[in-house]
Amino acid sequence: MKRVATALLVLVVTASIAPSAVAGTTASKMTKQTPGEAYAGTHVSFDAESKAVTDYAVHGETMLDSVRVQSASEVEDGGLADIGASLSAVTEIEGAGLSLGATTTTEARVSAEGSATITAHDNGHGVLVVAAGDQSDYVVADLPSGAEASAESDAQVAVTTENGTEGTLLVVGEGNVTVNDEDDVTARLGDDARLVLRSYPEGKDDGDEKQEDLLVQGEAKAEAYVMVENGSDASESADDDERVVVDTISYGENTTVETTESAEDEVTLAVNRTTHEGTILVTSVSEQALNATEGLEVAVDGESAVEARTYSQLRSAVGSDQSRYVVESAGSASASASADVLIAVNHFSERTVSMRSASASETTTQADDTTAGESDQTTQSGASSETTQAGASDETTSESAETSVVDDETDNGAGVPGFTVTATVVALLGAALLARRR
């Protein structure tokens, strides 16, 4: 009876535990199989659903409700767009299948079926780039509730959220963009063209407008954001855990930008192009990373670039004999303050661009001067020592010479110059013989 009772007890306990364990396992699998993956960086967050990037937010402000991309052939063959019809009539597309790829410190890439990619750049502007690849694509970007859009040109659409945050959707390369019939945004991109979102959480100014124009006109083919990021280890102080990171963006397959070296108050970039033609590199430099308040020194291949006074001078540097740059203040006086540095590299194909705080250069110069001064003092001290030693040696030699002279005089016996001891003896003998004869 006891064994039966024990067996019944085990069955009861097992029955009460098993359902919850199975439920837990099922829930875990459902979590892993749930469509869509979330990304949350320092500045940018979004969800990658099966066919759309959704809830794209910059600094917590949703800029786009969803973004879908699909090849032009599929959209037109599927009847979602009539050939020759207005672009604004394309208000909805199915979207290609998406998958979140590898992420880095500064970017997250979403691959689409076909050749298109969607890349989120985790920087202050929250740049989102939809690249068409080797085929034409349609892109439909739905705006969040309360947002407004207005077309500024065939290549630029301005967006303002309900809270007043500004942004711009612009086309780099062959293609156009417009406000569609649903008051959202539709773009058609040619081969290797890009639809780019730039947001301005701290407001948009004239300098931002000029940068957008450089991108749209194809005069600027790359961007770089130099930032200071804090690690996640709360046990370490912010100062100990800070590091300089650089986010680079290329607006064409023939241009690449990579970080080759970064240190306190200095960063060096490798900019390569498959063409000889020069281009403008747009950079945003955090004051924490490079102190631009007291000025920056910019060099291309180790040769100092000349500071341009106007954008016309900056543009004219491309193709000339001298690279130029422009520095513009941006951001605020807070810890997030930054400066925009636009560098016109006169020609290519492989160039290195370095930016260095002027204050750091002055510190290095002062250190070099101090070292040189110490070296001079050492040299002077050494020369003095040599002089002293040489003087002492000369005096010793002189004393030796004088001693030798004195000794020579002593050796002359009578002290009469020209007489020797032998001569004296001969003279005395001669005198004695002469006296005896007498």
Highest mean pLDDT among 97-111, 150-164, 413-427: 150-164
Predicted confidence band of residue 15 (pLDDT cuts 50, 70, 90): very low
Short-list 156, 274, 270, 190, CA closest to 224: 270
Short-list 53, 133, 128, 136, CA closest to 90: 136
Query: Taking 50 as the threshold, does the pLDDT of residue 90 lie above it?
Result: yes
CA–CA gap between residue 91 and residue 149 (Å, rounded): 14
Distances, alpha carbon 371 to alpha carbons 360, 362, 365, 379, 384, in Å: 16, 14, 10, 12, 20
10 Å Cβ neighbour count for 207?
15
Predicted confidence band of residue 240 (pLDDT cuts 50, 70, 90): low
Query: Would you state the pLDDT for residue 295?
Result: 84
SS3 327: strand
Query: Taking 80 as the threshold, does the pLDDT of residue 242 lie above it?
Result: no
Short-list 222, 287, 259, CA closest to 354: 259
CA–CA gap between residue 248 and residue 256 (Å, rounded): 9
Compute φ and ψ for 378, nearest 5 degrees: -65, -40
Q: For the chain, how many residues are written? A: 438
CA–CA gap between residue 337 and residue 321 (Å, rounded): 33
Q: Would you list the DSSP string of 217-258?
A: TTSEEEEEEEEEEE-S-TTS-HHHHEEEEEEEEESSTTEEEE
Q: Is 301 in contact with 351 (CB distance < 8 Å)?
A: yes
CATH of 220-367, one of 3.30.460, 2.40.128, 3.40.50, 2.60.40: 2.60.40
CA–CA gap between residue 138 and residue 178 (Å, rounded): 12
Query: Would you state the pLDDT for residue 358?
Result: 84
**What kind and span of H or E run contains 373?**
helix 358-411
Residue 190's Cβ-side half-sphere holds a number of Cα atoms within 13 Å equal to 7
- Over residues 215-238, the mean pLDDT reads 76
Query: Taking 90 as the threshold, does the pLDDT of residue 132 lie above it?
Result: yes
Q: Spelled out in words, what is the top-level CATH class assigned to the domain 36-204? A: mainly beta
Structure letter (DSSP) for residue 207: H
Query: Taking 80 as the threshold, does the pLDDT of residue 202 lie above it?
Result: yes
Give 393's strand partners: none
Read off the tokens for 122.
């985790």
Query: Would you state the pLDDT for residue 288?
Result: 86
Q: Is 266 in contact with 354 (CB distance < 8 Å)?
A: yes
Read off the tokens for 354.
């370095």
**Distance from first CA to last CA of the chain, Å, rounded?**
175
In 108-243, where does DSSP find H-type helix? 206-216, 238-241
SS3 14: helix
Give the torsion sign (CA, 321, 173, 161, 63). negative
pLDDT of 283-293, one tens digit each? 999 988 888 77
Query: Taking 60 as the threshold, does the pLDDT of residue 280 lie above it?
Result: yes
Query: Would you state the pLDDT for residue 404?
Result: 36
Residue type, 359: S
CA–CA gap between residue 159 and residue 251 (Å, rounded): 21
Query: Would you state the pLDDT for residue 30?
Result: 27
Give the least confident one: 135-144, 353-362, 400-409.
400-409
CA–CA gap between residue 208 and residue 432 (Å, rounded): 127
Query: Would you state the pLDDT for residue 193?
Result: 97
CA–CA gap between residue 426 and residue 402 (Å, rounded): 31
- Over residues 351-377, the mean pLDDT reads 64
pLDDT of 138-187, one tens digit each? 999 999 999 999 999 999 999 999 999 999 999 999 999 999 999 999 99
Mean pLDDT of the chain: 78
Domain boundaries, the chain: 36-204, 220-367
Query: Would you state the pLDDT for residue 51?
Result: 97
CA–CA gap between residue 364 and residue 362 (Å, rounded): 5
